[in-house]
Chain A
Amino acid sequence: MSNLVAYPVLLCFGTGILQLLLHKRVVLQRALALLSSMAGIVLSVLLTYTIWTSGIQVQTAGGWPVPFGITLTADLFSGLMMILAAVVLFTSVLYIFKDMDAASERTFFYPVLFFMMAGVNLSFATGDIFNLYVAFEVMLISSYFLMALGSKGPQLREGLKYLLLNTVASSIFLVAVALLYGVTSSLNMADIAAKAAMDPGNPYITLAGMLFMVVFAAKGALFPFYWWLPRSYYYVPNGIAPLFASMLTKVGVYGLIRVFTLIFVHDSGLTHSLLLVIGGLTMLLGVIGAISQYDFKAILSYHIISQIGYMIMGLGLYTVLGLAGAVYYIAHHIIVKSGLFLLSGATSRITGNTDFKHYSGLLASHPGLAFTFFATAISLAGVPPFSGFFAKFALLKAAVEKGAWGIAAVSLVVSFFTLFSMIKIFRKAYWGRPSGQRIQRDRKDYIAALSPAVILLALSVAMGLGGGYMMEFALATADQLMNPAIYIEAVMGR
């Protein structure tokens, strides 16, 4: 019973408000952004440490008794997601200082950015299904703004699709929440889970589960709702692309994992098998999309889809090891994918472009950039000693243990194609004879644009070398997820 669980949300929200009041003073906004993102890391680590030592943290808004007040609940999974969000925000902010155009920076960019992060953190912290909807809306409305920032033609076109899809998905979300409320007469997730457990064969709960699957599949870019992602993320400004790519879809994945390990666990023969199939199709079709592309940012955008497939595979297997793999994979993906997007931004700062037709051979002039990319890329593909290897290994082992040979085979094939398309980027952009235009910038600028990606690469290496500790954490997280009784007890039994 402490307010710690609310602080990461309140921090982002408060920062956004102060930045809104200071919207004419860009320098002060930058200082606030930097301080707040560092404080966010500290707070989220503190929160996760508290959860690790003394169990799931619960607090209700206004101190109302549990099923009535809006509950904020953070278990290890939420804590981990908040740490990742804070780290990505910090590195993105460092990069944004270098790469955001001045006009956008003056147009309420920072307040909206922090409101979006408040929504992201609230999605991780909330223990109330309707509050989850609210958190999603806070995040999405801010993301509509950020996506259209700059008002270029294609941005508005793709932003409209993004808006339409998410509006439809949000309406279905509301319907699903209403259905669940009608069946269980509660909005508190732990309360709903307890009531669903008392009536395990109820078809309406399974129906609500399927609706939630559609909602989170649309927001998390799963098969068959991933079509909006590659093109819309392609046009997001370089500075915010890492946040979009690594955090926003993962909030959908978080929602999926949360409800399908807590509430909808009583018909897992249907729901989790379906998730496994969806996961397989998502990773396969995503990677096929990626190898057909000929543009740095477009390849990376397609890879987001393919990697979400791996996370869903872990959920679909529905064993402790499978979920641990999924948790590990999410951590790995968020770090590495933002790193890659930062590198694509840093590269296009030199070449003015992300299309391979227009440039090649950066290795000779910018070896630091090229090798940072190479290391991050093979981490994504799953080569040891980087974090990607251990994440994929855990997932594969879980699949083999469960005898799910089909998904194991698919995941191996997809890994191979991932490596192939990462090598393709390296070959086209960095290797070969230098060609294409170069924008001259001084060395300090180059290092400043590169350093956020180096920080993330270092984290990926640390997560790989410290794989044992990370795996221990992931297993503990998965253990909590697989035993909804712990969650329910922490919330209800006070």
Chain B
Amino acid sequence: MVRARIEQNPIVRVVVHTSLYGLKLVAIWILLRGHHEPGGGFIAGLLIAAAIAMQGVAFGADAAQAIFPIPPAYLLGSGLLLSFSTVLGPALMGRAFMEHSAGVIGLPLFGDVVWSTAVLFDIGVFLVVVGTMKTVLLTIASDRVQVRPAQGEQDTSDSEREVS
């Protein structure tokens, strides 16, 4: 089995373990710089998905589950709810739906920071993408790896059985 061999490979494990921190940081940076500069929730979500995939390859599906350890359906749902609230909110406040606000706020240490409600929308998108990719990856990972039966041996594993 290919996967088992990679999991035992110390080089892969060390490389993945160290690069994960960088990957997560870059994801957050891209998430927050979106809207005004290239970036945004979608790409950041994909980066986290890449982190989940790498973690899964190097340490197995259980370790992959530990990144954002919330069931994917809730990740998806809460992301959608967050984005949706920025769509509906302005409408309830008497403005056009999906209308976003922005401004500048002075923070200690950071100086003047531009805030925007579009960031909330982006965080929602981020959660949706992570939730979706996590569902996809974990579903693939939970499939039993098919081992070709030796000659003359009958294979009766569940995954081989035809859907009736």
Q: What is A's interface to B at a CB cutoff of 8 Å?
A: 3, 6-7, 10, 13-14, 17-18, 20-21, 23, 59-63, 108, 151, 153, 156
Contacts and interface: CB of A to CB of B under 8 A. Distances in A.
B29 interface: no
Given A62-B98, A63-B99, A21 B77 contact: yes
22 contacts: A10-B84, A10-B87, A17-B81, A17-B84, A20-B76, A20-B80, A21-B78, A21-B81, A23-B73, A59-B97, A60-B96, A61-B98, A62-B96, A62-B98, A62-B99, A62-B100, A63-B95, A63-B96, A108-B73, A153-B163, A153-B164, A156-B163
A151 B162 CA distance: 12
A62 B73 CA distance: 28
A13 B98 CA distance: 14
Given A3-B97, A59-B96, A151-B163, A21 B74 contact: yes
Task: Report which residue of B76, B91, B98, B99 has the largest number of chain A beta carbons within 10 angstroms of its beta carbon.
Answer: B98
Contacts of A23: 73, 77
A18 B77 CA distance: 7
Contacts of A14: 84, 88
Interface in B82-135: 84, 87-88, 91, 95-100
Pick the 7 closest A-B CB pairs, nearest first: A63-B96, A21-B77, A20-B77, A3-B91, A61-B98, A62-B98, A17-B80
A214 B77 CA distance: 36
Interface in B119-164: 163-164
Contacts of A108: 73
A156 B164 CA distance: 11
B88 A10 contact: yes
Nearest to B78: A21
Contacts of B80: 17, 20
Contacts of B74: 21
Given A14-B88, A18-B81, A156-B163, 10 more contacts: A3-B91, A7-B91, A13-B84, A17-B84, A20-B76, A61-B97, A62-B97, A63-B96, A151-B163, A153-B164
Nearest to B81: A17
Given A3-B96, A10-B97, A63-B96, A17 B163 contact: no
A159 B81 CA distance: 30
Contacts of B87: 10
Interface of B: 73-74, 76-78, 80-81, 84, 87-88, 91, 95-100, 163-164
A62 B97 CA distance: 6
A21 B164 CA distance: 32
A151 B164 CA distance: 9
Contact of A17 (B77, B91, B95, B98): B77
A23 B71 CA distance: 12
Task: Report which residue of A3, A14, A60 has the largest number of chain B beta carbons within 10 angstroms of its beta carbon.
Answer: A3
Contact of A10 (B91, B99, B163): B91
Nearest to B74: A21
A18 B74 CA distance: 10
Given A17-B81, A153-B163, A6 B76 contact: no
Contacts of B164: 153
Contacts of A59: 96-97
A18 B85 CA distance: 12
A6 B97 contact: yes
A63 B163 CA distance: 51
Nearest to B95: A63
Contacts of A21: 74, 77-78, 81
Contacts of B73: 20, 23, 108
A355 B28 CA distance: 58
A59 B88 CA distance: 14
A491 to B, nearest CB: 15
Contacts of B96: 3, 59-63
Contacts of A151: 163
Contacts of B98: 61-62
Task: Report which residue of B78, B91, B100, B163 has the largest number of chain A beta carbons within 10 angstroms of its beta carbon.
Answer: B91
B128 to A, nearest CB: 10
B6 to A, nearest CB: 32
Contacts of B91: 3, 6-7, 10
Nearest to A59: B96
Contacts of B78: 21
Contacts of A61: 96-98
Nearest to A3: B91
A108 B77 CA distance: 12
Contacts of B99: 62-63
Contacts of A153: 163-164
A104 to B, nearest CB: 16
Contacts of B76: 20
Contacts of A156: 163
Contacts of A10: 84, 87-88, 91, 97
Contacts of A20: 73, 76-77, 80
